[in-house]
Structure 1
Amino acid sequence: MRGLNIAVAGCGPCGLAVALLLDRSGHQVTLFERFETPKPLGSGLMLQPTGMAVLGKLGLLDAALARGARVDRLFGKAGKRVVLDVQYAALGRPGTFGIGIHRASLFAILHEAVLRSGIPIHSGRALAGSVLVGEKRALCFADGQTSVPFDLVVDALGTRTPLAPPTGRALRYGALWASLDWPSGATFDPHSLAQRYARASKMAGVLPIGVPPGATTPKAAFFWSLRVDRLEAWRAAGLATWKAEVTALWPECATLLDQITDPHQLTFARYAHRTLASPAEPALAHIGDAWHSASPQLGQGANMALLDAWALAQGLSQAGDIDEGVRQGIRLRRRHVLTYQWLTALFTPVYQSDSRLLPLVRDRVVGPLAKLWPVTAIQASMVSGLVGNPLKSLGLCDDDLNAIVPLAGAP
């Protein structure tokens, strides 16, 4: 199908990507955004080979590589024990790696492409819901107004979308995030995501994220795991108390913490685990976090959203009617989505919980086993998003990954 009149709700990476893909498929696309000026939220994320394959199809992978930082390894220690050591080389696919990137960089890459495409963006339009008008669907805005009916509405509004019924559960642990200057002369590996743990109740991480918009030097995303109900106590205790706690766990972080002089430099992110039972409704498709969201333990959020966007565009191009096209897009993604929802639910308590037993098993049993084949390959497959070979069913074959090699530059 071509020539549909489609509304995309949400100007995050998911909404921007699906707008570009649908526009390039010959549809008339309009974006709606609640902010007066579309903007990114959050700090750093990891682009995996799955998401990179979609960006490659959009012609935007070069820009992501230029603005982000190549990541070859995920490395974590609990005390002196190495309990996480995942290397992309274990996949046996030359040129496979991740990209640490600031959310503002990914947003800018996609937003600039949308502007070049001439896709209209209606900003300052907070949504309250949607309503069927015959076989079409109109958007209902928070100010009481209603849009013209569209052939299809794509919900890319995220976990708290007003276009879907509430579902799932809020997670007990969130994280404090800050974007900081990469410390010169530090011991951090500029091509690794590094983490330190104390049981599962404390976790610190440092991710290289390249040079975001407005910056002139490389940055690091620093994060600290924190239980949601302890946020107010953290604020009351003050920065000095918190910094002492962090440096006791990971002394090398002192050079990063010196850059934090105000609590407002840290953003607290809350997470939820949810999977919408019916992501396909008449003239309505829920994708990305609006369909499924989870803890960031496996770092798949943005990558899953990019795959959802690609699948929906593919489904609409292959089907004879709109609703069948949406259902086809969901079918293309359902198995992979459910696999990662299950994996994330399984592994999150190992790294973020009050359990004493799970981190003990992690440190004493899983950690040593993770150094052995085939566990090394299994872990790399999970982290990269390639469990179940999702690219093949979406027509994103391995050639898209191999194309990364000449773009990667020197390690």
Structure 2
Amino acid sequence: MSYRIAIAGAGIGGLASAALLAREGHAVTLFERFAAPRPLGSGLVVQPVGLAVLDRIGAGEETRRLSSPIARMLGHEARGRKVLDVSYPAAAPGRGIHRATLFGLLWDRVAALGLPVVTGAEIAAAPPDGAGRRLALADGRDFGPFDLVVDASGAGSRLSPLRARPLGYGAIWGTVPWPETDFPRDQLRQRYRAASRMAGVLPIGCLPGDPTPRAAVFWSMPLAELDRWPQTPVADWRAQVAVLWPQMAPFLETIRDHAQMTPARYSHGTLRRPFAPGLVHIGDAAHRASPQLGQGANMALLDAFALAHALRRPLAEALPDYAAMRRWHVRIYQAMSAAFTPMYQSGSRSLPWLRDLVLAPLSTLPLLRRGLTHLVAGTMIPPLSGTRDP
């Protein structure tokens, strides 16, 4: 079966959907609000489940080449006590990668397929048109009809009915050259002051055409402080980080301007029904959470794969099938994110105590260690119910 499909949004989920659906024989048109498609953000971790989808798209090998293998996630509280230690299986590490690198790899796959791309397309609405939908743009342009509109337009989607709950903490993210340091290049490392501050260093490999190894650095803080960040002298902020974690100071030496760090605000929520006639939501348009579990891009990749798999059936059956395939994986990870995030990003005094003195010792038990490994790898349960993929 072949459908006329419009994809709203050229982020990770939108590009993955475009590539997968075109390979299935559908007539795909991609719509992007920027004049030239571009990524937003810094580093991310491609988990084994996400890498399996990239392999299906044909971008897996380049992802492995340009990313850093992440063998371990390690976190310490301010006095140096280890409170988080999660290892990946040797044969299936996470992959730290710059968002721009992953975007470029997916964009190359879409370009190779010759798909039409409409840029400068700010989506205003997707009104019904017979059995399908049209796309109405904010500048008055109108496209369609399409058998299906895929809403991959992210947390700011105008097509999604999701009203997510804003979280009280955000972060600033930046990308820096890897300095002279004894930090391992295969570990995501974090440092916490209770749950009110978190500093982190993520190896993210290199950019295409530039062999310089890089790291993503991040600093979590309450929203009120994030709002004041542009007025905070950068040198004062670097000194604040160094007090919490002196070993991170070399990573911050090249940061001289606020523009080198990107603010991020987070929200939490899930659509109970991520589809309507002729319209389906994927990625952040369907479910949003903090990045604490490192699943955001992977969830979008899995959504894209599930949708392409479901659309092998008649449309009336395909959209409920897509929702059913992803329902329990999304729900469990949303619940885990809601439970774990306040232990690392909140003003609570009791939750960091529980994290450090109860959960950290328990996590050394073999059964719980395996559970944490499956949690971060995205494999607590099969990511696509009823299939053996990806």
| Matching residue's letter, 2:279 | L
Aligned partners of 2:334 and 2:35: how far apart in 1? 33
Report the Cα offset of residue 216 of structure 1.
3.2
CA-CA distance at 1:361 after TM superposition: 1.1
Match of 1:302 among 268, 288, 297: 297
Aligned to 2:331, what secondary structure does the other structure show?
helix
Query: 2:105 matched to which residue of 1?
Result: 109
Q: 1:215 Cα shift? A: 3.4
Asked if the contact 2:58–2:109 (Cα under 8 Å) also holds between the matched residues in 1, the reply is: no
Shift in Å, 1:312: 0.6
Determine which of 97, 118, 121 is the counterpart of 1:122.
118
| Equivalent residues of 1:315, 1:328 under 8 A apart | yes
CA distance in structure 2 between the aligned counterparts of 1:192 and 1:391, rounded to whole angstroms: 28
For 2:279 and 2:192, how far apart are their aligned partners in 1?
42
Q: Distance in 2 between matches of 1:147 and 1:118?
A: 19
Amino acid in structure 1 at the alignment position of 2:338: A
Q: Secondary structure at the match of 1:226?
A: strand
1:237, CA displacement in angstroms? 3.0
* Partner AA of 1:293 in structure 2: R
Aligned residues: 389
Q: Distance in 2 between matches of 1:39 and 1:190?
A: 27
Equivalences for 1:38-57 in 2 at 5 Å?
Answer: 38-57=37-56
Classify the secondary structure of the residue corresponding to 2:142. Answer: coil
Give how far 1:20 is off.
0.7
Alignment of 1:61-210 (within 5 A): 61-78=60-77, 79-89=79-89, 95-184=91-180, 186-210=181-205
SS in 1 for 2:143: coil
Distance 1:14 1:394 in 2: 20
Instruction: Tell me the equivalent position of 2:344.
Output: 351
Amino acid at match of 2:196: S
For 2:14, the equivalent position in structure 1 comes to 15
Partner of 1:288: 283
Q: Is the 8 A contact 2:164 2:267 kept in 1?
A: yes
2:311 maps to amino acid: L
Deviation at 1:227, TM superposition (A): 1.4
Q: Which residue of 2 aligns with 1:260?
A: 255
Q: Gaps (5+ residues) in structure 2?
A: none
| SS of equivalent to 1:164 | coil
What are the superposed Cα offsets for residues 269-304 of structure 1, whole Å, 9 maximum, x if unpaired?
Answer: 111112123211000010111100100000101101
Structure 1 stretch displaced more, 205-214 or 7-16: 205-214
2:292–2:337 Cα contact (<8 Å) kept = yes
CA distance in 1, matches of 2:140, 2:277: 22
> Which has the higher mean CA deviation after the structures are superposed, 113-122 or 238-247?
238-247
TM-superposed CA distance for 1:236, in Å, is 2.5
1:393 Cα deviation from its structure 2 partner: 3.5
Q: Which residue of 2 aligns with 1:225?
A: 220
Whole-angstrom distance in 1 between the partners of 2:302 and 2:387: 8
Q: Indicate if the aligned counterparts of 2:328 and 2:385 stay in contact, CA closer than 8 A.
A: no
Are 1:242 and 2:227 matched, yes or no? no
Matched, 1:313 2:308: yes
The Cα RMSD (Å) is 1.2
Residue 180 of structure 1: how far off its partner (Å): 0.2
Q: Is the 8 A contact 1:151 1:283 kept in 2?
A: yes
Superposed displacement of residue 214, structure 1:
5.7
SS at match of 1:271: strand
- Could you report, residue by residue, the CA deviation over 1:151-180 in whole angstroms, capped at 9, with x for unpaired residues? 110000011100112412111111100100
CA contact (8 A) 1:64 1:109 kept: yes
Deviates more, 1:139-148 or 1:284-293: 139-148
Contact 1:50-1:391 at 8 Å conserved across structures: no
| Other-structure match for 2:58 | 59
Note if contact 1:102-1:209 (Cα within 8 Å) is conserved in structure 2. Answer: yes
Cα drift, residue 145 of structure 1: 2.4
The 8 Å contact of residues 76 and 84 in structure 1, kept in 2 or not, is answered as: yes
What is the Cα deviation at residue 248 of structure 1? 0.5
Q: Give, in angstroms, the shift of residue 27 of structure 1.
A: 0.6
2:388 maps to 395
TM-score relative to the length of structure 1: 0.92
SS at match of 1:393: coil
1:364 deviates by 1.1
Gaps of 5+ in 1: 398-411
In 2: Cα distance, 1:136 partner to 1:368 partner: 55
For the residues of structure 1 that align with 2:225 and 2:385, how far apart are their CA atoms?
44
How far residue 12 of structure 1 moved from its aligned partner, in angstroms, is 0.4
